[in-house]
Amino acid sequence: MAQGNTQTLRTTNTYAMAVTALMTAVTCILAPLSIPIGPVPISLTNFAIYLSLYLLDWKKGTISYILYLLLGLVGLPVFSGFTGGIGKLAGPTGGYIIGFIPMAIIAGIVIDKFSQRWIQILGMIVGTAICYAFGTAWFCIQAGYTVSAALAVCVIPFIPADLIKMVIAMIIGPEIRKKTRSCCTVRCTASARIFEVWQNNNLAPLQSPESLFAAAFPGFFVFLIRLLPEQTQAMP
């Protein structure tokens, strides 16, 4: 029984690490795609975060975004418009980049604790409003706008698109999570053995954010292994 519980824990931990790494990669792909409509472009960053919160819990969803943020700060072109570097954080839109962290925490906690969809939407709205507040305040300081002018440029034009992103994430997020968890439960033999090798060689417990980052790439391949169709895994 103890061995079975250990195996289940390893499977759960591997799933969490793999999906955390995967959603970091998804954010890196989606976030640079933007539509420039003014000083602040329409971005898919918040959609990637909403989706991460459904596939993970609020802690790991937030970690996924922080990993993405660190990749951008070291210079990888993963911010909107395929930009990167710490200068982006110090620029007029830097407040929104930081504001995504409390947004992920607030929205994620609500999504984790409540199954009613209208409450989940409300949680995402409140979290996004906090992000708007961070971003607008920083934009006013950097660009010299008044609050009303900043709201007209940085917030109001984005509300309809952000609401649509929330609804889409709310619809597809639980379905994706259900399918990935099912795949991980049924097809975990290969990845569990890989994980056991890591532990036997003291390359993980992989419980901290730092070790999650170190496990990003192998975790991603573990996730792909688990999603392989049964027919593929049965091939000699």
Give the model confidence (pLDDT) of 110-167 as tens digits. Answer: 999 999 999 999 999 999 999 999 999 999 999 889 999 999 998 999 999 999 999 9
pLDDT of residue 15: 73
Q: What is the pLDDT of residue 182?
A: 59
Going residue by residue through the chain, which has 236 residues, state the pLDDT in tens, using 9 for 90 and above: 544 555 555 556 777 788 889 899 999 999 998 887 777 778 899 999 999 999 988 999 999 999 999 999 999 999 988 899 998 888 888 999 999 999 999 999 999 999 999 999 999 999 999 999 999 999 999 988 999 999 999 899 999 999 999 999 999 998 888 776 655 544 444 444 444 544 555 444 444 444 444 444 444 444 444 444 443 334 44
- Confirm if 19 and 11 have CB atoms less than 8 A apart: no
Enumerate domains of the chain plus CATH numbers. Answer: 2-227 (1.10.1760.20)
> From CA 42, how far away is CA 212, in angstroms rounded?
30
Q: What does the pLDDT read at residue 69? A: 95
Residue 104: predicted pLDDT? 97
**pTM here?**
0.73
To 10 degrees, the CA torsion angle through 118, 60, 45, 79? 170
* Rounded Cα distance, 187 and 183, in Å: 6
Helix (H, G, I), strand (E, B) or coil at 181: helix
How far is it, in rounded angstroms, from Cα 20 to Cα 81? 24
Q: Which of 97, 99, 100 is nearest to 85 (CA)?
A: 97
